[in-house]
Amino acid sequence: MTHPAPTGDRTPDRGDAHPDALAQRVVAVVVTYNREVLLQQCLDGLAAQERGPDAVVVIDNASTDASGAVADAHPLAADVVHLRRNVGGAGGFAAGIARALVRHDADWVWVMDDDTIPRPGALSELLRALEASPVRLSVLSSRAVWTDGRDHPMNTQRTRLGASSQEKRDAAQAGGRPIRTASYVSALLNGQDVRRLGLPYADYFIWSDDFEHTGRLLRDGRGLQVPASIVEHRTVAFGNAQSGPGARFFYDVRNRLWALLRTSSFSPAEKLVHGGATGLGWLRLLLRHRGGLFAVGLRGLIAAVRRGPRPSAVVLAADGEAAADIRAIERVAGR
């Protein structure tokens, strides 16, 4: 199967929208690790959808609690993949998206973490927006709220910088606003575009894998944030990823530098804007923690300079089926 290369003008064909959106084959992908209670709630939320997904893939990241058993026993009858080792959210999504495309022939892949609980209309609202869009879309994203109903700062997506008046009108017609990147806390990905442009990098492990991957899909495509599609992101605390990252700050630094310096997912101007904003954010974080994170961040910087991410099939090598699915997609994408 071959797919057309993205056009350089970044203007989607206005006649190439999705009038049959409600009939599209949607496969949900949930990545879980040691959160059996939340996973049960997530799967219950998927089962309660007004328009349910056509199939569900659960990637169990070598959980040591009952998460895998919860997925196996749930009435949804999900396709559950029990990985041999924990490859993080990034590895889980690479494996899950590949499986949805290779083994379930997905038109659209609906991705989420195990602490994402979709409200009953979450998927149907995404598909309504897709159907109403006058232009072809590559990514649609839900509104993520915390347990008290406030917009979750970890998943806030800004309106696409430099979006034209026409882009904003197109987005408004579909009931949303134009975005440049999206969080994997409920994102609907165009399967054709993923086949053409490839999967997220498994080697990111956690953080910024969604930033880079949706940035890649949306450099030449259109993205839409749909406020009517609501999911609850049940994190322990209300805050963004930098509220108290601890040792995970390593991944924040390494992965953001990988995304900005080692990929073509963003234009040079976007790299300057994102890089500047990221650097200021890191500076504020280091000052707030009185330098306690400096050594962690330095390790991330050194790691980013030493090498880029390994091929995802290499990261998933211990799981032959998952690695084979990944290779099948990446081979077509020329990655």
181 closest CA partner among 140, 153, 226, 120: 140
Residues 6+ apart with CB under 8 A from 155: 144, 183, 185, 233
pLDDT 10s per residue in the chain (335 long)? 333 333 334 445 555 577 687 789 999 999 999 999 999 999 999 999 999 999 999 999 999 999 999 999 999 999 999 999 999 999 999 999 999 999 999 999 999 999 999 999 999 999 999 999 999 999 999 999 999 999 898 888 888 989 999 999 999 999 999 999 999 999 999 999 999 999 999 999 999 999 999 999 999 999 999 999 999 999 988 766 656 688 999 999 999 999 999 999 999 999 999 999 999 999 988 888 876 799 999 999 999 999 999 999 999 999 999 999 999 999 999 99
| Interatomic CA distance for residues 123 and 142, integer angstroms | 9
| Residue 88: inside a domain | yes
| Residue 260: inside a domain | no
pLDDT of amino acid 3: 35
pLDDT of amino acid 156: 82
pLDDT of amino acid 244: 67
Residue 246 in tokens? 């601890």
| Interatomic CA distance for residues 256 and 157, integer angstroms | 16
| Residue 250: inside a domain | no
Residue 309 DSSP code: P
Is residue 101 packed enough to be buried (19+ CB in 10 Å), middle (13-18) or exposed (0-12)? buried
3-class secondary-structure state, position 262? coil
| Interatomic CA distance for residues 81 and 149, integer angstroms | 32
Instruction: State the virtual CA torsion across 139, 93, 38, 77 in degrees, nearest 10.
Output: 90
pLDDT of amino acid 133: 97
Domain carrying residue 112: 21-240+307-333
| Residue 280: inside a domain | no
| Residue 5: inside a domain | no
pLDDT of amino acid 288: 84
Is residue 142 packed enough to be buried (19+ CB in 10 Å), middle (13-18) or exposed (0-12)? buried
pLDDT of amino acid 6: 39
pLDDT of amino acid 22: 75
Residues 6+ apart with CB under 8 A from 34: 63, 64, 65, 67
205 closest CA partner among 315, 106, 289, 114: 315
| Residue 209: inside a domain | yes
pLDDT of amino acid 155: 85
| Residue 15: inside a domain | no
- Give me the residues paired with residue 81 across strands: 59
Specify the number of domains making up the chain: 1
Q: Where are the beta strands (DSSP E) in the chain?
A: 26-32, 55-60, 79-82, 108-113, 116-118, 139-145, 177-179, 187-190, 223-233
CATH number of the domain within which 47 lies: 3.90.550.60
| Residue 261: inside a domain | no
pLDDT of amino acid 5: 39
The per-residue DSSP string of 146-211 comes to -TTSPBPGGG--PBPTT--HHHHHHHHHTTSEEES---SSSEEEEHHHHHHH-PPPGGG-SSSHHH
Residue 213 in tokens? 């991957």
Strand 108-113 and strand 26-32: pairing?
A: parallel
